[in-house]
Structure 1
C-alpha cells in the first residue's frame, strides 16, 4: 500500500539510549515535531531515572515511574527468554489493570507486535483472535493449554534485571493488532503501525497542550483504539493515568469519584460513557476536567449543552475515524456555534478526507457521499489467518492513485470546510421505497428533550411483511411517560412524514457493544420480538385493533385534533368523543366488520381497547 506521509520520516530504528531527551524540553519538542517517537520518550521516563512521580493510580495505589519501569523491565526479560524474533505476536490476556499496562509497554519497547484481548469476550471469540493472529506467546494470569505463556505474577516476582535493551521502530511495519466489528459478523483484525500512532499522539498532544501535570482517565477498554492514546500519551509525557478497577469499570458513580479524587484533567471516550458520567456525577466532582473529547459515535447536542453549562472552562472536542485510520483521524473543537449539529471536522495533519460519489468522483459542496481517507494515519490493512489483506483500501484515480480507506461513514462538506457526518451506509434504512438515515431521525429526536436516548431501526411486520420505522427509546431518570402523539406532531416540523417512526418501544436501557457503542443489531432484534410477537400470534386481532383505532381517528370531532394521536389505550372521553360521534363509530364498525354494536354498549367503554374487545367478542360469537 502507498501512503503520502507529507515529509514524515519513513523509518527510524531506536536501540537503547535516549538522544538527550529531558522533561524540560519534551513539551516544546512534541509541539514542534511532525514525527513524535513516543516510545523513545517512554523509554526515557521509565528507565532514565529522572522522573520520580506517579505514573499510574490503580486500586488505591500510587505507582511511580521508577516502579512501572522496574515491572516493565521484568516482563521484557521474561519475553526475551522466549527467544521471540522480529514480527512475533504476543497476546495480552489480562483484565484491565496496571499489569496490563506493564505488559503492553514491554511488548512495544521490544518491538513485538502486541494484541490486547478482551477477556470478557466469549471463549470462542477469544480463541478466534488468537488463532487468526498467529499468536506466539500469551501474557496471562494462568497457563493456557496449547500456548506458550508468560505468567504475569511469576514475571513480576523475578529479580530486577539489568537495564533493559529496547528495540522499536518508527515506521509502517506492524506494531499492534486491534479487532473491530466486521460487516460479515466475524471480527476484523486491523494491523496498526507506530508511524501512524506517532502522528496521532504528537498532533493531539500539541493541539490539546497536554502537559506533564495532566491526569488522564483510562475509562476506555484496553482492546479499544482510544485507549492507545490514554496509555502511550500519558507515559510519553510523564503524566499520570488513572485506571479503574474491575469493580469500577462499569460504575459511572465510581468514575465521578475518581475524577474528583485524582483531579483528572483529560477525558477521552465514546459519547455514551460521557453521558453516563454526567447523568450521575455531581457538578462539583467534575470541575478538574479541562478537556473532554468524544468520538466513535453520535454526540448529542444536549450533552454538549450540559457540558458547556456546568464545565465552562473545559475545551470540548469531537473525534472520528474508524480503527483502520489509527485512534482518530478527524476532529473538531466544539464551539458555541455548534448548537444543532456537531461537525465531524477536518482531517488530522498529514491526512486527507474525501467525499466521493458511487463513481469515486468528488461530491459537490453540501452533497452527501461516502468518506474516504488517505495519509499517514492509514493502517496496514487486515490480518486474516496470518495473511495481510487490503479489502477496504482502494486506489483513488481522482488524486494520483493514492491509496485510501473506503469507510462506511457518509457525510458532506459544509461551506466552512468542515465535514458533517450524515450516517453510515449500514445505518440507512429503506421504508416504503424511501431511503432514510437513522442518524438523521435520531438527531431530531435527541433535540426533543423528552427522551434520554433513542435508536431508530427497521422492523418487518410479520403479517403484512411491510417494513416499518421503529423508535426504541429510554426515558430520562425520573422522567414522565411520553405522549407519542404529541411527539410525532412536533417531529413534523423537522422531518418528512416518511421519516417519522410509526412504532415506538420504551425500554429500560439501550444495549451497548463491548466497545461501548450502541448495539443496533440487538436493538433491532429486541424491537422485532417485543412489538410483533403478539401480532404474529394473532394477526387478525391486530387488524381489528388497527381498524377500530383508524375509525376513532376519523370520527373524533375536529376541535379535539390537538389532544394527540389515538391508540388502543386512549380514553374515549379524553378525545372529546360524545354520543353523536359514538353513533358514527358504531355505523363505521358495522360497515367494516359486519358487527352491530349499540350506542349503550359503546358508552360503557372507557378506552378504545374496550371497543376492540367488544368487536372481537361479537366476531367470536358469530364464528361459534
Structure 2
C-alpha cells in the first residue's frame, strides 16, 4: 500500500543519549550533524531533544497541507501546555490551557461581539399591527386567486383572536393548529399570537398516531383546523376544535380591533415538535424575544421593502416557515402562499416566482439542486434573495446558482429548532473552497466551539458547537431532564445558558464557522431532521424484530438493518406498514437489509461502520424486463437517476431508494428524453416503469385510476379519494395488501388534470363509474373509501349495478 501507517510522528531523544555533542570510541568519533532537509517525511512531525542547555524542539510539516500560520500556532499551544505544567504540576491534564490569553479573548469575546439594541419587548404581532397602520391598503397576502390587504388580514386575525381569548387563550397557553397551507392558516397563526398564545403546528400529513401523541403531549386545550380535515384528526372531543372558515363574514360578531393583550418577552410564541431519539418527538418552546430578535436581525441584514414578495412554501411544522410567514408582514412586503404540494414541484415554483414577481424565498439545498435542474429556472431574473438552511450547502449547488441566476444573492444560514430558526449567517461568494461556511453568529447570539470539558478549542480544530444568547428556546415542553441535559450553564457568562447542538464544526482564522457533521445519530435528510434512534425504537416494538439499526446511505436515503425473530416473506412490507402508522413517510427506510446478527465492536457495542452496504437487487421480487421502446427508455432513465444496474418495469421507485427530490429529477429527465411532461402527482401515484409508460401512452385514459402497489394477481381493490382529492392516504393499506391483491386509487379529476374544475356530484359519480368499466369491463368489483370516498364507493356501486 502507498498509504503510510501513520501521518504524524513524535520523536524524543533523551539527555542520556546526548550527554555531549561528540563521543570518542576506539578508532571512531561520533558527532551530531545538522541536516538541513527541505522535505517533510510525514504530514507533521515533532522532534524534541534534551540537552544540557534545556529542551529543544523542531516542528516539521508538509507545506501542501499546512500554511505557516498553523504549525506556528501549534508550537505556541505546545509551549502553553508546558508552561502550565510547570506552573501547576498537580493540575488535571484535561484542564491544561492550550490558548494564549489574547487568543482566548478573541475566540470567546471578540468573535461573539454581536450586541444590538433591538426593542425585544415589541412582539412580532405588535410590529405587524404597526405595519397595518402604515400601509393599510397594500397587498399583504396572496393565495391562489385570493388577495387580502393589510387591513383585511388584520381584521380577520383580530376577530379570531377575540374568539380565542373568549375560549381562554392567554400568554403561555398552547393552541394546536392542524391546517393545510391556505389563507386560513396565516390568519390562524397570527390570531394565536395576537391572543397571547403559542401555536403548535400539527401537520395533517403526519400519521394519526403521531398526531395523537403530539396532541396528548402538548395538552392543547383548543385545536384550530379546517372542515375537510376534521374527520382525519385524532380528536375525541369536537368541542375542543374550532373550524376556521374561509368566509369573510365568519365570526362577524367579534370585534376587528387589535386585542389588548400584554405579552412578555419570555412568553412562548410557538412550540415545534422535532424527531426524538427516545422514540417520541419532543416539542421545543421558543420565546417571543428570541423570535423578535431573529426577525429584526433578518430585516437589518437583508432589508425587505414594499417592492418585495416572499414565497411561503415550507411546511409549517418546520421553523423556517416562521420567518416566511411573519417577516414580510412586519416590513410591508407581500406574502404569497404556495398551494399544498406546489413546494415539491420546480416547474410550479418557477411559474409562481414569475407570476407573482417573487424576490425572496427559501430552499433546502437538496431542493435548490432540484429547482436548478428545471429548464426554465434562468427566467427567474426577478429573484433577489435565495436563503438556504436545513442541511449543508454543497459548493457545486452554490456555483450553479451563480451561473443560472447571477443577479441573485445566495445566503447560507444555520440553526436548530431549539434556537429560534437560525443562529449563524453567511453571504455566499464565488471563491475556491472545499465547503460553504455557515458563517458567524447573528445579532445577540453567541457561538462557541468547545471540547468535552467546555473549553474553547483552537482555530482549525474540530469541536462541538454551543449556542448562547437571546435566541435560545425556553425549554423542551414538559421535558425538564432533557432540557437540563441539552441546555447547560455557560462557563463564560455566569447565570446564562448554552445549548449543545451536537454539531461538529471548526473555526477559520477569521472566526468563520465551517460545518463538519454530527456527533450523534441525528441526521438531516433533504433538510428534514431525523433522529435515527426514534425509528429504531419503533422497529423494536414490532414482534418480528429482535434487533434493528437505521443508517443513512451515502446521504441519499435511509436503510433499515434488522435481525428477525421469525422469517416471513413479507417482512419488509410489514415493517414499512408498522412505521407508517407511527412516523412521517420520510422516516421510513427506502431499503432494508436482513442480518443474522448485528456486527459488534470489541466492547460489545453496535459497530455501525461494519454494517453492509444495501444491495437493491436483493429484493424478493419478480423481474420483468422492458417490453417496448418506451419502457426501455424509462428503465435507462431510472438506472441513471437511482444509480442502479438493474431495474424491473414492476419495481417501485420508492422501494429502490427514490424520494420526492429524485422524482423531480425523474420528471425532468423524462421530459427531455420523451418530449412529454408527467406531473409530479402522476409520477408519485404511478411509481413503476410500467405505470409511467401507461401514463405517457395515454393507456390509463384520464389517469384517474392509479396503481398503489405492485401486486398484479387477484381482483383489484379500488379506493376512492376523500374530500381533498388525493389517494396518498391509502399508502399504508396498499402496502399491507401487496402480497394479496392489487390496490388501485381513484383520484379527483381536478387533481389529476391541471386546470380542471371539481365536477358536480352526479357528474363525478358518472365519470368514475365509466372509468372503472373501462379499466375492468367485467366484475366482480371491490370498492371502498374513507370519508367522502366511502360515499363515492357506494354511489359508484349503484352505478355499476345499473350498468348491469
Assess, with a 3 A threshold, how the Cα gap between structure 1 residues 179 and 407 changes in structure 2: closer, same or farther: same
Which residue matches 1:520? none
Question: Aligned in 2, Cα 1:456/1:356: closer, same or farther, shift over 3 Å?
Answer: farther
With over 3 angstroms needed to count, the CA separation of the structure-2 counterparts of 1:413 and 1:506, relative to structure 1, is: farther
* Structure 1 position 114 matched with structure 2 position 199: yes
Instruction: Provide the secondary structure at the position in 2 that maps to 1:196.
Output: helix
Partners of 1:215 and 1:236 in 2: CA distance: 13
Aligned residue number for residue 309 of structure 1: 403
1:148 has 2:276 as partner: no
Alpha-carbon distance, 1:36 to partner: 6.0
The answer to whether the 8 A contact 2:179-2:225 is kept is yes
Partner of 1:403: 497
- 1 CA distance for matches of 2:446 and 2:134? 40
Larger Rg: 2
Q: How far did residue 405 of structure 1 move?
A: 0.4
Q: Is the 2:423–2:442 Cα contact (8 Å) retained in structure 1?
A: yes
Per the alignment, residue 254 of structure 1 pairs with 348
2:218 alignment counterpart: 133
The DSSP-based 3-state class of the residue aligned with 1:103 is helix
Matches within 5 A, 1:378-527: 378-384=472-478, 389-397=483-491, 399-400=493-494, 402-426=496-520, 454=556, 462=595, 467-468=610-611, 470=613, 481=640, 507=656, 509-510=658-659
Cα separation, 1, equivalents of 2:508 and 2:560: 29
| 1:478 Cα deviation from its structure 2 partner | 5.4
1:34, 1:81 → 2: CA distance?
A: 27
Cα distance in 2, alignment partners of residues 332 and 389 from structure 1: 29
Gaps of 5+ in 1: 10-31, 430-450, 486-504, 513-624
Give a deviation string over 1:176-200, Cα, whole Å, max 9, x none: 1111111223111001011011111
Deviation, 1:458, is: 9.9
Structure 1 CA distance for aligned equivalents of residues 205 and 147 of structure 2: 26
- Post-superposition shift, 1:415? 1.7
Question: CA shift at 1:151, angstroms?
Answer: 1.7
CA distance, structure 1, for counterparts of residue 513 and residue 185 of structure 2: 36
How far apart are the structure 1 equivalents of 2:198 and 2:300?
Answer: 27
Per-residue Cα deviation, 1:18-60 (whole angstroms, up to 9, x for no partner): xxxxxxxxxxxxxx867764322211234x3742121111122
Would the aligned equivalents of 2:115 and 2:443 in 1 still touch at CA under 8 Å? no
Q: Which residue of 2 aligns with 1:40?
A: 126
Residues 468, 169 of structure 1: alpha-carbon distance in 2 compared, 3 angstrom cutoff: same
* CA contact 1:35–1:199 (8 Å) conserved in 2: no
* Other structure's SS at 2:477 match: strand
SS at match of 1:153: coil
CA distance in 1, matches of 2:658, 2:321: 25
Q: Is the 8 A contact 2:290 2:472 kept in 1?
A: yes
SS at match of 2:169: coil
User: What SS class does the counterpart of residue 340 from structure 2 fall into?
Assistant: coil
Distance 2:387 2:642 in 1: 34
Q: Deviations over 1:520-543 (max 9, x none)?
A: xxxxxxxxxxxxxxxxxxxxxxxx
Distance 1:313 1:404 in 2: 38
- Displacement of 1:96: 1.2
How far the C-alpha of 1:76 sits from its partner, in A, is: 1.4
Query: In structure 2, what is the equivalent of residue 586 of structure 1?
Result: none
Aligned residue number for residue 17 of structure 2: none
Q: 1:169 to 1:96 in 2, by over 3 A?
A: same
Distance verdict in 2 for CA 1:320–1:511, change over 3 Å: same
Matched, 1:64 2:154: no
Which residue does 2:334 correspond to in 1? 240
SS state at 1:384 partner = coil
Name the residue aligned to 2:674. Answer: none
Partner residue of 1:202 out of 278, 288, 296:
296
Rounded to whole Å, the distance in 2 between the matches of 1:305 and 1:393 is 37
Q: 1:63 to 1:426 in 2, by over 3 A?
A: same
Q: How many residues are aligned here?
A: 446
Of 173, 177, 185 in structure 2, the residue corresponding to residue 88 of structure 1 is: 173
Across the aligned residues of Structure 1 and Structure 2, the Cα RMSD in angstroms comes to 3.6
With over 3 angstroms needed to count, the CA separation of the structure-2 counterparts of 1:123 and 1:49, relative to structure 1, is same
Q: What is aligned with 2:393?
A: 299
Mapped to 2, the partners of 1:343 and 1:418 lie a distance apart of 7
Instruction: Please state how far the C-alpha of 1:80 moved relative to its aligned partner.
Output: 2.6
Pairs within 5 Å for 1:277-356: 277-337=371-431, 339-356=433-450
Aligned partners of 2:437 and 2:265: how far apart in 1? 31
Contact 2:171 2:268 in 1 (8 A): no
372-381 or 133-142, which deviates more:
133-142
Shift of 1:479: 9.1
Change in Cα spacing, 1:471 to 1:235, as seen in structure 2 (3 Å) is farther
Task: Kindly report which structure 2 residues correspond to 1:550-589, keeping only aligned pairs within 5 A, or say none.
Answer: none
The alpha carbon displacement at 1:271 in A equals 1.4
CA offsets, 1:451-488, max 9 Å, x none? 99746979788369651464899x9x959759999xxx
Q: Write out per-residue CA displacement over residues 272-307 of structure 1, whole angstroms, 9 at most, x where no aligned residue.
A: 222222222513332111111111112121111110
Quick one: distance in 2 between partners of 1:366 and 1:247?
Answer: 42
What secondary structure does 2:307 align onto? coil
SS, match of residue 426 in structure 1: coil
Given the alignment, which residue of 453, 462, 469 partners 1:368? 462
Answer yes or no: is 1:163 the counterpart of 2:248: no
Q: 2:189 — aligned with what?
A: 104
- Are the counterparts in 2 of residues 458 and 470 from structure 1 also a CA contact under 8 Å? no
Residues 320 and 330, structure 1, Cα contact 8 Å, conserved in 2: yes
Taking a change above 3 Å as real, the CA distance of residues 278 and 482 of structure 1, as seen in their structure-2 partners, is: closer
**Offset at 1:238?**
1.5
SS in 2 for 1:391: helix
Say if 1:118 and 1:390 are closer, same or farther in 2 by CA, change over 3 A.
Answer: farther
Q: TM-score, normalised by structure 2?
A: 0.51
- Shifted more, 255-264 versus 379-388: the winner is 379-388
